[in-house]
Each structure stands twice: as structure tokens, then as C-alpha cells.
Amino acid sequence: MTSQHGSEQRPETIAITAGRPAVTPDSALNPPISLNSTFTSGGPIGYGRYGNETWTALEAAIGALEGGQTLSYSSGMAAVSAVFSTLPAGAKVVASNQGYSGVMTLLGNLTTAKKINSTLVSIVNTDEVIAALDGADLLWLESPTNPSLDVADLPALIKAAKSRNITVAVDNTFATALVQKPLSMGADIVMNSVTKYLAGHSDLILGSLSTNSPVHFKALEDARKFNGAIPGPFEAWLALRGIRTFPIRFARASENALELAKRLSEHPLVTRVRYPGLPTDPQHAKAKSFMKGFGAIVSFEYAGSAQATDRVCESSKIVTYATSLGGVESLWERRRRWPIESASVPESLIRLSVGCEDVEDLWADIDAALHAAK
């Protein structure tokens, strides 16, 4: 986004300025919650499944942050499904063998139904991914991955796929546009679970897709119109309200996450910590080469059984034992409690979504919970 003085606005400013109504005397600062299923004839919207001014405001803000035209959907998974629905029958999809369990399940179901062919690779191994690209229609990337925090070499993989004319889509939910902007690296589509950091208050479910390709935009907009997974206007309005403070929340949560990752890695009851911002993390050098931060999710393994790990999660007072992530409140969970989570994720792995509380309060709570389970 360009300011009146022609200089590029920084994301901290964009999050506050984008998606506002035009300024006229007594105009509202915020867009209205447009509760309408239909519109009088003669205009560009026509029907409430085709467009809504509250969605448009939210999409302007996400689009300005990601650097692309944006469409919002009823959930992150609806956005993912919209991408897969635009593929031709039998399309070859290359994706990571470890990633968000919902996407992994969807990929598996589409493959079983013979709608697509998926080739799953180790995303940290750039050569292996590139070797699998021949004949692919779509490279689906998620980085860092949920919940293992593996990092894909996005600049190298996007370049390799684009030189072979393969569509590249990136799930940017963990990193967000503040850390990396895949469209600027050449990706075709960026997906966000708006439910997480963008909205940021664990009170709604929404998703988005951003692209600079008019062809992809039209196909993805048609998928929204005719598959019908549209956002609710109230959720769109709340998400935009959340975006106003997203950079501040994300900065604070990321700072907390680095500190907690450091302390966890020295804790006697923790056997392994994954956080790309830790200098000792196997992916740190790669992550540092193109990411502007490392996010606020930390995964670690507890020195005990699955049952003992559940007890850790149940013992905290500030950190809540609940799924999801990206809100102001810290949450954690043992990921393998979900039957759809990959068997490659250790039974004792806890995914911690670090919130914006005071870091010393968080540490006291986490340390007490680790000891309470023994």
C-alpha cells in the first residue's frame, strides 16, 4: 500500500489504515456490519453470496498485508478446499508429509477418492522436494509446519516450482505476512487461517486466499460463490477489528515465545524444543535467511508418557489446555490426542501457542505444570 506521500507504508501502519471507509464529513471510521442477503438491482454485488461490503473491508486489509487481491472464506479449511477444488481431475499435488492435520486429512481423502494424486515429501529437504516436482500441477507449502515447526526453504522451492510452471500455494498461518510474504517471492496463492493471528481473540473462524493472478482470482472467487463457503459479515467485521492490533500482539507473543523456548530447552523435564528462532534449532539458519521473525508457536517434548503429558497440559492455570492458536491467550495441547494427527508427531509433543501475557507469569505457570505431572 502506498501512502499519500508515495512511500510504502509498513505493516504496522497498514494494519491500522487499511479497509477503512472513504473519508467524507461525518463518515464512519469503521465499515458497517452489512447484514444483507440481497441488494437492489443494477450494482456489482447483486446477491449476498457474491459479495458484501464488510468482507471487502477485511479483504482490503489482508490484501494490503500480503500484497495481493484477497478473498475471505468461512474458515481456513474452506479456503484450502477452494484451492483444491480448482484443480483438474487427477492433478498431481506435491506437499509436505507433515503439516496441519486438517489439510493432511483432506489431501488423503481427495487422493483416496482419486480426485488428485498427492506426492508427500520431507519439506526440510529441498532437493527431495524439487526432485518430486516433475509433472506436478500444484506445490502446496506450509512453513513453519503445524505442529513440528519444520521450515521449508520458500525462496528456493517457489523458484524451482515456478521455473517448471507449477502453481505454488503457501499456508502462511504460522508465519503471517509480518514474517514472510510468499507472493513477493513468486508464489501464486497465499492462504491464511484468519481464525489465528489475524483475528487473534479465539472468537471466530475465517480463512483467506490472496493472489496477484487474475486467472486464479476468478477461479477462487467462483469456488467461493458456487461452493458457497462464504464468511459471515459479523465474523468479517470482528476479524478486521482484530487486525488493527495484530502487529502489536504478534510482536509481543513472538518475544514471549523466544524467551519461553530458551527456558524450555534448559528444563530438566523437557527432552526437545522446536522453535525456528532458537539458535540451536536445526532449521534456524535456513529460517533466518528469509524470515523476518519466527512467530509465537513453540513445540516441545515432555520427558514422560502420553498420560503424563496430558497431566502437564491439565495442570496449568494461565495456559489453557485447548486446541487452536494465535490468540492473545496462551494455549497448549498434546497434539496426538487427536486421532487425525500424524503418527510422526511424538506422543509427548506439546504445541504451545504463546500469547501476550507477562512472560514471567507464563514461565512460572509452565514450570509448575511440568513439575506437577511427575
Ligand X SMILES: *Cc1c(COP(=O)(O)O)cnc(C)c1O
CA distance 15 to 92: 36
The residue type at 124: V
Looking at beta carbons only, is 171 or 347 nearer to ligand X? 171
Q: Could you tell me the three cell numbers for 171?
A: 499456508
Instruction: For residue 77, state whether it binds ligand X (rule: CB under 6 A).
Output: yes
Taken as a whole, the chain contains a residue count of 374
To ligand X, the closest distance from the beta carbon of 223 in angstroms equals 15
Stretch in the footprint of ligand X (CB under 6 A) among 105-113, 190-198, 224-232, 343-351:
190-198
Chain CA centroid to CA 147, Å: 12
CA distance 246 to 252: 10
Q: Could you tell me the three cell numbers for 87?
A: 484443480
Cis peptide upstream of residue 233 (ω within 30 degrees of 0): no
Stretch in the footprint of ligand X (CB under 6 A) among 6-14, 171-179, 301-309, 328-336:
171-179
Q: Could you tell me the three cell numbers for 245?
A: 492490533
Instruction: For residue 102, state whether it binds ligand X (rule: CB under 6 A).
Output: yes
Q: 301 in helix, strand or coil?
A: strand
Least Cα distance to 188 among 167, 208, 207 occurs for 167
Name the residue number minimizing CB distance to ligand X: 76
Binder to ligand X among 153, 171, 188, 341 (CB under 6 A)?
A: 171
Positions in 195-224 near ligand X (CB under 6 A): 195-196, 205, 207
Looking at beta carbons only, is 173 or 309 nearer to ligand X? 173
- Residues facing residue 92 across a β-bridge: 117
Contacts made by residues 26-29, CB under 8 angstroms, sequence distance 24+:
none
Looking at beta carbons only, is 250 or 269 nearer to ligand X? 250
In this structure, how many other beta carbons lie within 10 angstroms of the beta carbon of residue 315? 17
Mark residues 137-156: x for contact with ligand X by CB under 6 A, - for none.
-----x---x----------
Looking at beta carbons only, is 208 or 373 nearer to ligand X? 208
Looking at beta carbons only, is 139 or 369 nearer to ligand X? 139
CA distance 194 to 327: 11
CA distance 143 to 187: 13
Looking at beta carbons only, is 174 or 332 nearer to ligand X? 174
Stretch in the footprint of ligand X (CB under 6 A) among 42-50, 85-93, 120-128, 169-177:
169-177
CA distances from 247 to 12, 83, 177, 199, 234 (A): 6, 27, 10, 11, 22
To ligand X, the closest distance from the beta carbon of 368 in angstroms equals 28
Looking at beta carbons only, is 103 or 160 nearer to ligand X? 103
Instruction: For residue 180, state whether it binds ligand X (rule: CB under 6 A).
Output: no
To ligand X, the closest distance from the beta carbon of 120 in angstroms equals 16
Looking at beta carbons only, is 295 or 346 nearer to ligand X? 295
Binder to ligand X among 52, 75, 148, 176 (CB under 6 A)?
A: 75
CA distance 154 to 133: 14
CA distance 18 to 235: 17
Binder to ligand X among 69, 72, 81, 173 (CB under 6 A)?
A: 173
Q: 261 in helix, strand or coil?
A: helix
Least Cα distance to 323 among 336, 311, 312 occurs for 336
To ligand X, the closest distance from the beta carbon of 246 in angstroms equals 15
To ligand X, the closest distance from the beta carbon of 205 in angstroms equals 5
Looking at beta carbons only, is 148 or 373 nearer to ligand X? 148
To ligand X, the closest distance from the beta carbon of 67 in angstroms equals 20
Residues near ligand X (CB under 6 A) are: 75-77, 100, 102-103, 142, 146, 171, 173-174, 193, 195-196, 205, 207
